[in-house]
C-alpha cells in the first residue's frame, strides 16, 4: 500500500525547527540551515524507500530507483522551499508522495522498465533570492544568461550562500552559473508533479483530486502613476490630479475587465504604495503591481493589453502620467495530452469523477516542460487556502492521490511497452 498517511505526517514533521528558519512558523529558504536539515531527513526517507540518493551542484536532492532497463527516467518532483509563514504541504507533499510510490514498488519487489527519479527542487518560491525556480531551470537546461549574481535581503550573495550550504551538507556545489547549469538532466521521458490545488475548485466540486490541463500564462507589471501632491484642505476637487484616486479607478477596472473576460482569466493588484503618505496631502505618486494570468498566452496578452489601454484612458482623463514596466512574463505550460489521458484513467479507476482544471499558480512542472512532457495532479486543500499556516489537506484525499499516482506509473509503463 502507498502511504498517504505517512506522506502527510512527514510534511508535518518538516513544519518546525530545525526545518524552519523562523520561530513560531514555517519558512524554509533555499540553501539555509533549515533547508539543509530538511534535505537530510528527506534523503533518509528516500534511502529507506530503496533509492540511491545524491545532491546535485544546484543543491537539488535526487533519489533514483532503477528500472529493469536503462534509458530515460520518469521524474516525479516538487519543491522543498517555502514562503515565509507558510503552510506545510505546498511543495513537500508532492515529494513525499513520490517517495511513497517508490516505497510501495520496492516493498512489493517491483521495478518498472524505466528508472524513477524523485526530485526535491530548491527554490520554486523565490522567497530568498529575487530569481525564482533557478534550481529547476538548471535541471531543465533553461537557466539562460543571468547578468548579475543575486543577493538576499541580508546582503548574502547567491554563490556565498551556495558555498555555505555545500559546507554544511558536505557536497560539492557550483561556483558560477556556468557550473550551476551542470545540474541539467541528461534526459527524461516524462515529468509528474502532485501538488495541493491552492484554490477552491476541487473543494467546490466535492472532489479529492483533479487533472491539471495547463499552468497559466502570466504577466506582471510595475505601475507608477504621477499626479500632483497638494493640500487636502485648500485644493478644490475639480482641480486635483490625485494619483491614488486614479489608482482606485484602475483597480476597479481590473476587477471588471477580468470578470468580463470570463473563463480562466484573472487579474490582481497585489501591492500599492502612495506618496507622500500624509493624511492632509493629496497623493502625488502611487505605485502598484498588476498580475495578469490566463490559460493561454493569447488570453493573457489580450487581457493585459485591455487593462493597460483602460489605465491609459483613466490616466489621460485625470491628468496623470502613467508608466508601466513589465517585470516578468511566463508562457502558458500545457500538460501533455497523452499523459493527461493516462492520469484520467488512474483517477477513474479510483471511482473519482474526472475533473480537469487549470493551475493559476506557477509550478516546477512549467519549467520541466522544456525537458520532457509533463502532467500534474491537484489535491484538494481546505477552503483553497495556501501560503498560509492554515493550509490543510485531508488524509483521505492524500491516500486517493497516492493510489492514483501508483496507477499512473503502471499506466505509463503500459504505454511505454506498447
Helices 4-13, 33-48: inter-axial angle, 10-degree rounding? 160
407 is in an annotated binding site: no
Residues pairing with 286 in the sheet: 225, 274
231 labelled binding-site residue = no
Is the backbone peptide bond immediately before 276 cis, with ω within 30 degrees of 0? yes
Residue in 31, 368, 395 with CA at minimum distance from that of residue 193: 368
Q: Which residues pair with 61 in a beta bridge?
A: 55, 120
Known binder of ligand: residue 293? yes
Beta carbons of 248 and 225 less than 8 angstroms apart: no
List the one residue out of 37, 35, 48, 39 whose CA is nearest residue 100: 48
Is there a binding annotation on residue 220?
yes
Q: Can you name the residues that pair with 62 across neighbouring β-strands?
A: 54, 119
- C-alpha to C-alpha distance for 63 and 133, rounded to whole angstroms: 19
Q: Residue 45's CB: how many other CB atoms inside 10 A?
A: 21
Residue 129 and residue 88 in contact, taking contact as beta carbons nearer than 8 Å: no
Cβ-Cβ contacts under 8 Å for 181 (sequence gap 6 or more):
138, 141, 143
403 among annotated binding-site residues: no
Grid coordinates representing 30 are 533555499
Asked if residue 64 belongs to a known ligand binding site, the reply is no
Beta strands in 156-282 (DSSP E): 188-196, 209-215, 217-226, 230-231, 266-268, 272-275, 281-282
Which residue numbers belong to the known binding site?
A: 79, 90, 125, 195, 220, 280, 293, 387
Which residue numbers belong to the known binding site for allantoate?
A: 220, 280, 293
Which residue numbers belong to the known binding site for Zn(2+)?
A: 79, 90, 125, 195, 387
Amino acid at each position: 500500500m502507498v502511504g498517504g498517511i505517512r506522506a502527510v505526517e512527514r510534511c508535518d514533521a518538516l513544519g518546525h525547527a530545525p526545518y524552519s528558519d523562523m520561530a513560531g512558523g514555517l519558512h524554509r529558504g533555499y540553501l539555509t540551515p533549515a533547508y539543509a536539515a530538511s534535505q537530510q531527513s528527506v534523503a533518509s526517507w528516500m534511502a529507506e524507500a530503496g533509492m540511491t540518493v545524491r545532491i546535485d551542484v544546484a543543491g537539488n536532492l535526487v533519489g533514483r530507483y532503477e528500472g529493469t532497463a536503462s534509458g530515460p527516467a520518469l521524474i516525479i518532483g516538487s519543491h522543498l522551499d517555502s514562503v515565509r509563514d507558510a503552510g506545510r504541504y505546498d511543495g513537500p507533499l508532492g515529494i513525499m508522495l513520490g517517495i511513497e510510490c517508490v516505497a510501495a514498488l520496492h516493498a512489493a519487489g517491483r521495478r518498472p522498465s524505466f528508472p524513477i527519479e524523485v526530485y526535491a527542487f530548491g527554490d520554486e518560491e523565490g522567497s530568498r533570492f529575487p530569481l525564482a525556480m533557478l534550481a529547476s531551470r538548471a535541471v531543465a537546461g533553461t537557466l539562460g544568461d543571468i547578468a548579475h549574481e543575486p543577493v538576499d535581503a541580508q546582503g548574502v550573495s547567491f554563490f556565498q550562500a551556495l558555498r555555505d550550504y555545500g559546507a554544511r551538507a558536505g557536497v560539492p556545489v557550483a561556483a558560477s552559473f556556468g557550473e550551476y547549469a551542470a545540474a541539467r538532466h541528461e534526459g527524461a521521458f516524462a515529468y509528474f508533479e502532485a501538488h495541493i490545488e491552492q484554490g477552491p475548485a476541487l473543494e467546490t466540486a466535492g472532489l479529492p483530486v483533479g487533472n491539471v490541463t495547463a499552468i497559466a500564462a502570466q504577466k506582471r507589471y510595475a505601475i507608477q502613476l504621477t499626479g500632483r501632491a497638494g493640500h487636502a484642505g485648500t485644493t478644490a476637487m475639480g482641480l486635483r490630479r490625485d494619483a491614488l484616486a486614479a489608482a482606485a479607478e484602475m483597480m476597479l477596472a481590473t476587477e471588471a475587465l477580468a470578470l468580463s473576460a470570463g473563463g480562466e482569466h484573472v487579474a490582481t493588484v497585489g501591492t500599492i504604495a502612495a506618496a507622500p503618505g500624509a493624511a492632509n496631502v493629496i497623493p502625488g505618486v502611487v505605485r502598484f503591481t498588476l498580475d495578469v494570468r490566463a490559460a493561454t498566452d493569447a488570453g493573457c496578452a489580450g487581457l493585459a493589453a485591455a487593462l493597460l489601454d483602460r489605465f491609459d484612458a483613466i490616466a489621460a482623463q485625470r491628468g496623470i502620467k502613467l508608466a508601466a514596466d513589465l517585470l516578468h512574463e511566463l508562457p502558458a505550460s500545457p500538460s501533455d495530452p497523452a499523459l493527461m489521458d493516462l492520469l484520467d484513467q488512474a483517477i477513474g479507476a479510483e471511482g473519482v469523477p474526472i475533473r480537469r482544471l487549470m493551475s493559476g499558480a506557477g509550478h516546477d512542472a512549467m519549467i520541466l516542460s522544456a525537458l520532457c512532457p509533463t502532467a500534474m495532479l491537484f489535491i484538494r486543500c481546505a477552503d483553497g487556502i495556501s501560503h498560509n499556516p492554515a493550509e490543510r489537506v485531508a488524509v483521505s484525499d492524500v491516500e486517493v492521490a497516492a493510489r492514483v499516482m501508483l496507477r499512473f506509473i503502471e499506466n505509463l509503463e503500459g504505454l511505454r511497452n506498447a
